[in-house]
Structure 1
Amino acid sequence: MKLSILLFLSLFMCSLMDVSAQTDTLLIKAKESKVNPLDEVVVSGTMKEVSKLDSPVPVEIYTAKFFNANPTPSLFDALQHINGVRPQLNCSICNTGDIHINGLEGPYTMVLIDGMPIVSGLSTVYGLSGIPQSLIDRVEIVKGPSSTLYGSEAVGGLINIITKQPKDAPLVSADMFSTSWGEVNTDLSGKFNVGSKAESLIGVNYFNYQHPVDHNHDGFTDVTLQNRVSIFNKWNFKRKQERVFSFAARFIHENRWGGEMDWERKFRGGNEVYGESIYTSRWELFGNYQLPVKEKIVLQFSVNGHDQNSVYGSTSYLADQYIGFGQLTWNKQIKKHDLLAGLTYRYTYYDDNTPATASAVHGGNQPSHVNLPGVFVQDEITISQQSKLLLGIRYDYNSIHGSILTPRINYKWNSLNKNNILRVSVGNGYRVANVFTEDHAALTGAREVVFLDNLRPETSWNGNINFVKKFYIGDHDFIGLDGTVFHTYFNNKIVADYLTNPNQIIYDNLDGHAVSQGASLNVDFTFGNGLKILMGATLLDVYSKRAGIKERQLFTEKFTGVWNVGYTFKNLGFTIDYTGNLYSPMKLPLLSATDPRKAYSPTWSIQNIQLTKAFQNGLSIYGGVKNLLNWTPNKGNPFIIARANDPFDKNVQFDNNGQAMVTPENPYGLTFDPTYIYGPNQGIRGFLGIKYNLYRTAKNPTHAAHQ
């Protein structure tokens, strides 16, 4: 943290020197017109369209071009090159996972599409899969609690996927690539008009991988086999006075399995050959409608349904979840006050075949019904041309947990030329136990889920200091620095105990407190000669403390670094992209004192290179190599999956406390368990793809090729 403070003092002193040497405003504006200052429009921080530089809440933006530097079959995989954001695999067999933001697990991350919370407990597994990337305009990321505006699940941060407006999209777009492992990914999209009042954008994503591979020779598939299709359709309607009316729908169906190499569908749910087979179907409908009144009142709505049919060996997991959400917002500007108020209601239905929905009183099944009405208000106060103050508060009434209050305050100061921006925020967040998330995580690890007592909502307080510094060098070169120091303190934290019983994951409120703190720095170099460099680093300290004992959180690194380096040979139409990440050791869950696997992961890195050739007709061809270092988690370990030779624990003996005993058949005293996984188990592979964009009018062909 001392290094973080020194970093901020250095940056702030640079800003004071820059302010004292300000030149004429017209000259500054002329410079900014030649060099892109990355002043995009964002909506995630304040739920209103606002310039990124004017937003009192720090929001990170990643455009489609950023993700094109390393094409992936899903947005879940693409997030691995964003600083402070890490896709975490939770099972080495079925390859389901979640998104960690600043070290906090998936249940703390809210995923939105076009600002709507249409995803549920499995959001970071399925909410980020199957969205045609040709339809993505940008991804906005807010780190830190956003519960004041978005409610539960937004404690660690939120990921808002903004899809393209039909008017800005190509008439037809196609993007297809395949890898040397046999993966095939296809994105197809197009737009059309219905009369003069309606325009629509439709896209289809198809991913297929059906080639079992066992390079680590444990008898199990290294990568899950998948067959996934997703359809997305968005409509915009023209109305008087440019009032908003849009809605979109998405359907995704996926069939994935992993397991022993000789597993077949006929073994599904049995105890002869081990396999984890997951059938998923989910649908989503969401939209915005501005009421035909003088005041700016907007109705936002979303509904979604999720059907899960999974087996993990001989254990079945059958679940249904339906969520309905409605929100009415009113926006009014009164002199220096920009007011936003909202009424929200969220209904969640959940049912499964586990004890999570069993009735303790009457026996039998008892589906969960949760009603969550709420109200929020925020006031963005313009104090002066250089400073703004944002005050917000939200009240929710959870039908199970009762009243929950979440306030926040944000302050922003900027120099007159906006080359220096300081943001300070303090906010409160809350989270309730999401059965779909916690239970699924347990089952993917082939363990029994146990909830101790009635889990209470956990609350957190977060402090955040963000400083942005921009340098313009001549007329074409730009350097941007974005540094943040953060601290989050948790009460009643919901923790998962992997260690007490190797056959269980036990969830309970922490009898103590937990902390997530650290610092991050993003650096952006843009040069007129075609070179662009994005680099980021994050220092993390995530731990819990009970009875005076500090314990580091599992699966959490202390340092992470990412980079994205691209260079365009303008005369040749070639672009080369070099992307990568670096992670420091993480604490891993061992099953016993005699477990021979390493208690900490090594420092590891995944690096990729890509070459793209753009043609003048909107066509581009790209290819390269992923995982150049051929890194996989089994490096330096005797095995990854515990007792892969006995997945049904037929030869495991247990003592009176339920602990596995050391026997000649089981020399390490282990049970079958695939949760010792901290990174992707897929080695080096080549890839080749083709992309084509067709525009209705003669737009800039080079622009079309790079979209």
Structure 2
Amino acid sequence: MKRFTLIVLIICYTFSLLAQQQSTVTIKDDETKEPLPGVTVLIKGTALTLISDSLGIVSFVSIPAGKRAIIFSYIGYETKEQIFSFPIEKPIEILLEPAESHLAEVQVTATRSSRSINDIPTRIETITAGELHEKAVMQPGNIRMLLTESTGIQTQQTSAVSGSASIRIQGLDGRYTLMLKDGFPLYGGFSGGLSILQIPPLDLKRVEVIKGSSSTLYGGGAIAGLVNLVTKEPMVKRELSFLTNVNQTGALDLNAYYGQKFNKIGITLFATRNSQAAYNNNHDDFSDIPRFTRYTLNPKFFYYPNTSTTVSLGLNTSFENRLGGDMQVIKGHANNTHSYFERNKTDRYATQFKLEKTFVDRSVLTLKNSIGYFSRTIELPDFVFAGKQHASFSEASFLLPKDKTEWVAGLSLVTDKFRQTSITQYPLDYKLVTGGIFVQSNWKPTEKFVLETGLRTDYTNQHDVFVLPRISAMYKFNTHFTSRVGGGLGYKAPNIFSEEAEEKSFRDIQPLVLSATRPERSTGFNVDINYKGRFEDVVSISINQLFFYTRLKSPLLLDTLPLANGNYTFYNADGYLNARGFETNIRLGYEEWSLYLGYTYTDAQRDFKHDVSVNPLTAKHRINCNVMYEAEDKWRIAYELFYTGRQQLTNGEGVRDYWVMGISGERKFKYFSVFLNFENLLDTRQSRWEPMYTGSIQHPDFREIYTPIDGFIFNGGFRITL
């Protein structure tokens, strides 16, 4: 009997061991279902750590019977915790979700598509909430720094006195970039000169950038591309935050944001006060940073009558008084010697109305409308230019998504009216009305291939007709390699609001003769290839290589020689502006460390009457570098380095290259964080190499700007989140 009992015990023990030895788990990618080797598997509450093999399999041996919590972690993937009952009788499959999957599910509003960003052939760059948070504490007053750090984008300061700036994408002037807010074009025409200096970033949840011709999407103006600023929406969980920032030049930024959803209604409220003292860092009697005070108030209301309908109504307001020039004048001590100044007063109002209705078949009807008012007065010692802009945007679109196809069709009406209120011999009044009809399609016959096409036809009150086709394709070779290719036509209706006219404060500008002025038309093409993977299973790596080309016919230029009456006139150049080049982006990630490297090569040339010259203020070579350490919810430390190559001024003069570097840090606590930022540590500024003006102090002639002029900036502050 004893022998029999012993044999039974041995057999039971043996079967128990066999059961334990057969406890296996296979770990795979949630999207591709491919096995993941090198996954760290930790049995919670113990020191036992296992690593999955080349097939993504991990085997559990000698695990006591009972329930155990197992933690799965892998570089580039969300950590997952799951409870198992040991012994595991059948092989189990664990799916890990990529850490960037939240980005893959982002619906890019700029394209009107319901597809996620990973299924859209149009090449779209997104600046996510985390990156926005990092840049916002570095420059809370505006989005200039935010945009500068993207390859292929250059923010060009156009005035040494007012500090006005524009966005250049891939070597093309700022007037060829369309600025949107939540899909509404609110910053065109007269209101565009100071726009990027008057948009605080703290209510944004995402920025979408489409480089290359995008006129098929929103009509004229998007020859170089478009930038869509996507604001936050209310959530059930309240978001309440405050940010205060100061720097050594006399800047003070006060920001507050509130957002919350209550059953069928929601609200967001964003309010800021930004001020800056006049700052002269080179002691030449003129301000390098103008004095200004700006107030911004953006309330937005949401109504959800049912689960399939959303109605929103928002108001964007901004009021600014900006004064630059002679420091004595700014301080209130003007005299016969110290008399030069430039004052800009602006008032901006814009409404945003949107209705979105989703039907049972997942089709969506969207109605949009915005009405904008912008008033600006530019005052010089002996000249005043003032005007008011009234603009509107209306659009109705219908989205019909299917399993393999998606269609969008719509109508739009855009108006832009400018009336000069100051008295001059030649008023610069302007009016443009554009009606458009568009259709877009997205076809995904296989998991590897997606084709996107679009066609838009615009008709203006100047009797111009524009037919704008666009096509893009994407092919996924495997889980690591993806390629996109696309191209289209673009246009811009003529107006006088350009960097050249802005630089002259619209003084001595001859009104456009529309019968003798042609619209600018463009052809654009780009192709890219993207790689995502891991090195030795511990370093995540992403490489994107983009090639681009844009050909702009008959660009509108301001003549450098005045007419007999002393005015400068706009004319269509006889020829083309060609911008070609490539962008290289590399991102590496290792535990809490990340490295970003970017290089842009831009060859922008004017070919007028077979006379080839370099497009002014366009650097051929630009390098971006960012190294960051981020311990989640604790520390963020970043180092940045930028290189801008040699450029050529409008008069043909070549100017030097330069480097800019900065360091920033943030310490996070549960409800607040403190931050410090050291920008332009090398104190790179144009005044270190040459005087910023010629002529007399009463009548200065300022140099064209090609580098930063404000020099080293140290700022710091705190953010409270409740």
1:42/1:644 CA distance change after superposition, 3 Å: farther
Instruction: Give the distance between the partners of 1:259 and 1:624, measured in 2 at CA.
Output: 27
2:130 corresponds to = 65
1:292/1:564 CA distance change after superposition, 3 Å: closer
Equivalent residue letter for 2:654:
Y
Shift of 1:115: 1.3
Pairing 1:233-632 to 2, within 5 Å after superposition: 233-264=299-330, 273-291=339-357, 295-334=363-402, 336-353=404-421, 358=426, 367-417=429-479, 419-437=480-498, 440-444=501-505, 448=509, 451=512, 454-473=516-535, 477-498=539-560, 506-528=569-591, 530-569=592-631, 573-590=634-651, 599-615=653-669, 617-632=670-685
Q: Secondary structure at the match of 2:220?
A: coil
Q: Secondary structure at the match of 1:444?
A: coil
Q: Secondary structure at the match of 2:119?
A: coil
| 1:230-265 per-position Cα deviation (integer Å, ceiling 9, x unaligned) | 111122222324223222211000110111111149
Equivalent residue letter for 2:274:
F
Is 401-410 or 259-268 further displaced after alignment? 259-268
Contact 2:143 2:201 in 1 (8 A): yes
1:47/1:613 CA distance change after superposition, 3 Å: same
Instruction: Give the distance between the partners of 2:190 and 2:129, measured in 1 at CA.
Output: 24
1:3 corresponds to = none
Instruction: Give the distance between the partners of 2:155 and 2:476, measured in 1 at CA.
Output: 34
Shift of 1:224: 1.1
1:698 corresponds to = none
Shift of 1:505: 5.1
Equivalent residue letter for 1:298:
T
Is 378-387 or 127-136 further displaced after alignment? 127-136
Instruction: Give the distance between the partners of 1:635 and 1:402, measured in 2 at CA.
Output: 49
| 1:647-686 per-position Cα deviation (integer Å, ceiling 9, x unaligned) | 1xxxxxxxxxxxxxxxxxxxxxxxx432511232111132
Equivalent residue letter for 1:430:
Y
| 1:20-42 per-position Cα deviation (integer Å, ceiling 9, x unaligned) | xx995364997862543652514
Bigger CA radius of gyration: 2
Contact 2:270 2:297 in 1 (8 A): yes
Q: Secondary structure at the match of 1:77?
A: helix
Instruction: Give the distance between the partners of 2:193 and 2:263, measured in 1 at CA.
Output: 38
Greater relative CO (CA pairs within 8 A, separation 6+): 1
- Does residue 689 of structure 2 align to residue 636 of structure 1? yes
1:180/1:683 CA distance change after superposition, 3 Å: same
| 1:438-459 per-position Cα deviation (integer Å, ceiling 9, x unaligned) | 6751433866457577321111
1:272/1:608 CA distance change after superposition, 3 Å: closer
1:702 corresponds to = none
1:339/1:640 CA distance change after superposition, 3 Å: same
2:701 corresponds to = 673
Shift of 1:59: 0.4
1:202 corresponds to = 269
Shift of 1:620: 0.7
Is 622-631 or 432-441 further displaced after alignment? 432-441
1:15 corresponds to = none
Shift of 1:84: 1.1
Contact 1:622 1:688 in 2 (8 A): yes
Equivalent residue letter for 1:645:
I
Equivalent residue letter for 2:678:
V
1:120/1:268 CA distance change after superposition, 3 Å: farther
Shift of 1:339: 0.7
Contact 1:429 1:461 in 2 (8 A): yes
Is 478-487 or 430-439 further displaced after alignment? 430-439
Shift of 1:497: 3.7
Q: Secondary structure at the match of 1:470?
A: strand
Shift of 1:573: 2.4
Q: What is the number of equivalent residue pairs in this alignment? A: 629
- Does residue 222 of structure 2 align to residue 154 of structure 1? yes
Residue ranges of structure 2 left out of the alignment (5+ in a row)? 1-30, 37-55, 57-76, 78-93
Is 237-246 or 453-462 further displaced after alignment? 237-246
Instruction: Give the distance between the partners of 1:641 and 1:612, measured in 2 at CA.
Output: 39
Shift of 1:404: 1.1
Equivalent residue letter for 1:524:
R
2:12 corresponds to = none
Contact 2:585 2:599 in 1 (8 A): yes
Equivalent residue letter for 1:607:
M
Residue ranges of structure 1 left out of the alignment (5+ in a row)? 1-21, 359-364, 591-597, 648-671, 695-707
1:500/1:422 CA distance change after superposition, 3 Å: farther
Equivalent residue letter for 1:523:
I
Contact 1:306 1:322 in 2 (8 A): yes
1:379/1:538 CA distance change after superposition, 3 Å: same
1:348/1:450 CA distance change after superposition, 3 Å: closer
Equivalent residue letter for 1:206:
R
Structure with the higher strand share, 1 or 2: 2
CA RMSD of aligned residues (A): 2.9
Instruction: Give the distance between the partners of 1:569 and 1:291, measured in 2 at CA.
Output: 41
Equivalent residue letter for 2:226:
L
Instruction: Give the distance between the partners of 1:351 and 1:303, measured in 2 at CA.
Output: 16
1:462/1:524 CA distance change after superposition, 3 Å: same
Q: Secondary structure at the match of 1:384?
A: coil
1:39 corresponds to = 104
Q: Secondary structure at the match of 2:185?
A: coil
Identity %: 22
Instruction: Give the distance between the partners of 2:332 and 2:510, measured in 1 at CA.
Output: 27
Shift of 1:192: 4.2
Is 164-173 or 487-496 further displaced after alignment? 164-173
Contact 1:171 1:191 in 2 (8 A): yes
1:439/1:575 CA distance change after superposition, 3 Å: closer
| 1:284-315 per-position Cα deviation (integer Å, ceiling 9, x unaligned) | 11132025866521101111110011113322
Q: Secondary structure at the match of 1:238?
A: strand
Equivalent residue letter for 1:629:
L
Equivalent residue letter for 1:46:
T
Q: TM-score, normalised by structure 2?
A: 0.81
Shift of 1:49: 3.6
Is 255-264 or 515-524 further displaced after alignment? 255-264
Shift of 1:619: 1.0
1:507/1:248 CA distance change after superposition, 3 Å: same
Instruction: Give the distance between the partners of 2:440 and 2:334, measured in 1 at CA.
Output: 52
Q: Secondary structure at the match of 1:578?
A: strand
Instruction: Give the distance between the partners of 1:139 and 1:260, measured in 2 at CA.
Output: 37
Contact 2:203 2:257 in 1 (8 A): yes
1:682/1:55 CA distance change after superposition, 3 Å: same
1:687 corresponds to = 715
Q: Secondary structure at the match of 2:654?
A: coil
Shift of 1:226: 1.1
Contact 2:162 2:323 in 1 (8 A): yes
Shift of 1:78: 2.5
